[in-house]
Amino acid sequence: MQNLFQNAMVQLDKVVQMKNFSREDGPVSGWSELITRLQQPDRDIRISIPVKMDDGTLKIFEGYRVEYNNTLGPYKGGIRYHPETEINEVKALAFWMVLKCAVVGIPMGGGKGGVTVDPKKLSKNELERLSRGWARGLSDVLGPHKDVPAPDVNTTPEIMTWIADEYSKITGDTTGAVITGKPLSGGGSEGRDTSTAQGGFYVFDALQKELGLPEVCRVVVQGFGNVGSNVAEIFTQRGHKVAAISDSKGGIYNNEGLNIEKLLEYKKTTGSLFDFPGSRNITNEELLKTECDLLIPAAFENQITVENASEIKAKAVLELANGPTTPEADEILFKKNIPVIPDILANSGGVTVSYFEWVQNLKNEHWSEKEVFEKLEPMLKNASLEILEKAHKSNTHLRMGAFIRALERIKEKMV
């Protein structure tokens, strides 16, 4: 399988071929220049982070920050802590952030960060020293008007607070606007913790009828972390049925719909989803192939691939994870008439509320959750309908529609 950055570049290439943006279309500010600029990041930074471990030994961790493109505003994107995180993954995620911000129309560019680490193997003190080390190593490139990170997989509001604090000690900037996803007490925004899932629901809501989905959908969710558990709860509250859900160990299925509130408690006490009363255990492979109206990948990248795409039995896919569908799988689903609502639109609620947090910090304001979601909903619904129209006009799938809309916005501003 190609690495994630290669997948991202295949997607970009597809738009180039489809729209026939030739290399001879003008000397500056033309499509060719835009595409050439977007084939690599503005800079990718790797740092060594020395961390004093609790047993007194010194361990060096590898950290990253990729600043992909800032045509629309300061670089923006989360930080991922994962044992398999590496530079190509971070580059791909940073590229998608550029498009994601452009799709929704927020004045932010795209970046992403990470550390190759299994955070579950660190004590809280070690995790804090690692996070502060990441901030120290990158303090000269971060900044409210330069590069504004946020949480991603395995990074929490508390980690954001450590990074904000370290940054303010070094620079004296106490606005907190250097990073988003902070806890409410540390200048975070109302609604940020559920914003990706809530945003995913707004996008679904805008497209549900257009895509011919029934009023009450049977939903299958892969992933039971921040995004997966929240989206399962939101869909249930809105009257849909979540028939299957999984985490990294595997999943569970109940044809009548799962009680997500009880499942959250169950996982807290048992540490697993398995054997949840009234359900049967299934593997992640089975989950992806479950017959349903809506499949929501909300775990990791490269889950729907050439190996399983032809067996997907969903009527539509809502990508809340980043990069869950490979380019080859995209084509298979398109031929099967299964619309894929792409990550750069479907999960953009997270970065949009991150942007709201940044605005609130800079203006020293605090918006209510109601205000936050009242601002979020129309932005995502408008973006969804615009992208649907782009896709229809070019007779292509929604991902290409989203790429075209994003590229147009960046091109308008690129000098």
Residue from 350, 360, 399, 402 that binds ligand NAD (CB under 6 A)? 350
Contact region for ligand NAD (CB under 6 A) — 119-127, 128-136, 165-173, 243-251? Answer: 243-251
CB of 151 vs ligand NAD, minimal distance in Å: 6
Q: Does 61 bind ligand NAD (CB under 6 A)?
A: no
Residue from 7, 189, 279, 322 that binds ligand NAD (CB under 6 A)? 322
Q: Does 398 bind ligand NAD (CB under 6 A)?
A: no
Site of tokens 């509130």: 261
Q: Considering the complex, state which of residue 34 and residue 92 has its C-beta at the smaller distance from ligand NAD.
A: 92
Question: How many angstroms separate the CA atoms of 97 and 95, rounded?
Answer: 5
Q: Going by C-beta distance under 8 Å and a sequence separation of 6 or more, which residues neighbour residue 271?
A: none
Question: How many angstroms separate the CA atoms of 295 and 384, rounded?
Answer: 18
Contact region for ligand NAD (CB under 6 A) — 206-214, 269-277, 319-327, 332-340? Answer: 319-327
Ordered alpha helix ranges (H), 317-368 = 327-335, 343-346, 349-363
Burial of 334 by CB count in 10 Å (0-12 exposed, 13-18 middle, 19+ buried)? middle
Residues 28 to 47: which contact ligand NAD by CB under 6 A? none
CB of 28 vs ligand NAD, minimal distance in Å: 34
Contact region for ligand NAD (CB under 6 A) — 117-125, 156-164, 316-324, 327-335? Answer: 316-324
Neighbour count for residue 342 (Cβ, 10 Å): 31
Q: Considering the complex, state which of residue 194 and residue 361 has its C-beta at the smaller distance from ligand NAD.
A: 194
CB of 356 vs ligand NAD, minimal distance in Å: 13
Q: Does 81 bind ligand NAD (CB under 6 A)?
A: no
* 112-135 core/surface letters (b: 16 or more CB in 10 A; e: else): bbbbbbebeebeeebbbbbbbbbb
Among candidates 8, 177, 102, which has minimal Cα distance to 383?
A: 102
Q: Considering the complex, state which of residue 300 and residue 373 has its C-beta at the smaller distance from ligand NAD.
A: 300
Helix (H) and strand (E) counts in the chain: 14, 12
Q: Considering the complex, state which of residue 177 and residue 318 has its C-beta at the smaller distance from ligand NAD.
A: 318
Q: Does 325 bind ligand NAD (CB under 6 A)?
A: no
Tokens read off for 295: 């499949």
- Residues that bind ligand NAD (rule: CB under 6 A) add up to a total of 23
DSSP one-letter code for 119: G
Contact region for ligand NAD (CB under 6 A) — 22-30, 126-134, 236-244, 297-305? Answer: 297-305
Residues 119 to 178: which contact ligand NAD by CB under 6 A? 152-154
Residue from 179, 320, 383, 391 that binds ligand NAD (CB under 6 A)? 320
In the residue annotation, 112 being an active-site residue is answered as: yes
Query: Could you give phi then psi for residue 48, rounded to 5 degrees?
Result: -95, 130
Residues 171 to 200: which contact ligand NAD by CB under 6 A? 196
Q: Considering the complex, state which of residue 138 and residue 160 has its C-beta at the smaller distance from ligand NAD.
A: 160
Question: How many angstroms separate the CA atoms of 151 and 354, rounded?
Answer: 10
Q: Does 226 bind ligand NAD (CB under 6 A)?
A: yes
Contact region for ligand NAD (CB under 6 A) — 5-13, 51-59, 102-110, 222-230? Answer: 222-230
Tokens read off for 330: 């995209």
Q: Indicate the length of the chain as a whole number.
A: 415
Q: Does 223 bind ligand NAD (CB under 6 A)?
A: yes
Q: Does 111 bind ligand NAD (CB under 6 A)?
A: no
Q: Is the dihedral of CA 78, 82, 87, 91 positive or negative?
A: negative
Q: Considering the complex, state which of residue 151 and residue 396 has its C-beta at the smaller distance from ligand NAD.
A: 151
Question: How many angstroms separate the CA atoms of 321 and 224, rounded?
Answer: 11
Q: Does 75 bind ligand NAD (CB under 6 A)?
A: no
Of 76, 112, 241, 390, which is the active-site residue?
A: 112
Q: Does 373 bind ligand NAD (CB under 6 A)?
A: no
Tokens read off for 81: 């802590």
CB of 288 vs ligand NAD, minimal distance in Å: 9
Tokens read off for 278: 């009234």
Question: How many angstroms separate the CA atoms of 284 and 286, rounded?
Answer: 5
Q: Is the dihedral of CA 350, 351, 353, 358 positive or negative?
A: positive
Question: How many angstroms separate the CA atoms of 406 and 8, rounded?
Answer: 14
DSSP one-letter code for 304: B
Q: Considering the complex, state which of residue 50 and residue 83 has its C-beta at the smaller distance from ligand NAD.
A: 83
Active site positions, annotated: 112
Q: Which chain residues interact with ligand NAD by CB under 6 A?
A: 152-154, 196, 222-228, 246-248, 284, 298-300, 320-322, 347, 350
